[in-house]
Amino acid sequence: MKRPAVFFDRDGVLNQDSGYVFEVSKLRWIDGAREAVKAANDAGYFVFVVTNQSGVARGLYQESHVEALHRWMADELTKIGAHIDAFEYCPYHPDAVIERYRQVSQRRKPAPGMINDLLERFPVDVSRSILIGDKPIDLEAARAAGVQGYLYSGGHLAQFLRPLLSLKEQE
């Protein structure tokens, strides 16, 4: 049975974008972010995170740091009965200082690779799915994958999301 999904960008949507966040001690949730994830869960949506993590390619931190932060975020969400179905990140960048990460990747937004990979792995109803991002490249990736994108520019994330969930349910 196909279900709709909410794809969240991470930095600037779920957590404050304070520049290359990879340490638990430096992550600050956006107001209403955890509640937004729970609202999507409660509405029966898959919830995914799709995030460019060029700090890996720039040598600022390692993939293990990204994965540990995502595990911590997931653990924090379980405390309010919420969950992320999958975290996807792209460590690649064409100007990487770490050679193995120096490439153009279809997983790096604005390319739709992370979204497409999730669409292949999960039974997602694309027509009722949305992406919440804070940059035009997020919306470009959504459009390229056939998902409706919405630009989040601040405020309480759950209040931003709830009307969008209701709108998609009416379609």
Write out the catalytic residue numbers: 9, 11
10 Å Cβ neighbour count for 123? 10
Q: How far apart are CA 82 and CA 32, in angstroms?
A: 13
> What backbone phi and psi angles, to 5 degrees, belong to 37?
-60, -45
Tokens describing residue 154: 């601040």
Going along 62-124, which residue ranges are E strands? Answer: 86-90
10 Å Cβ neighbour count for 24? 14
10 Å Cβ neighbour count for 67? 12
Q: How far apart are CA 77 and CA 99, in angstroms?
A: 35
Residue pair 119/2 in contact (Cβ under 8 Å)? The answer is no
Residue pair 146/22 in contact (Cβ under 8 Å)? The answer is no
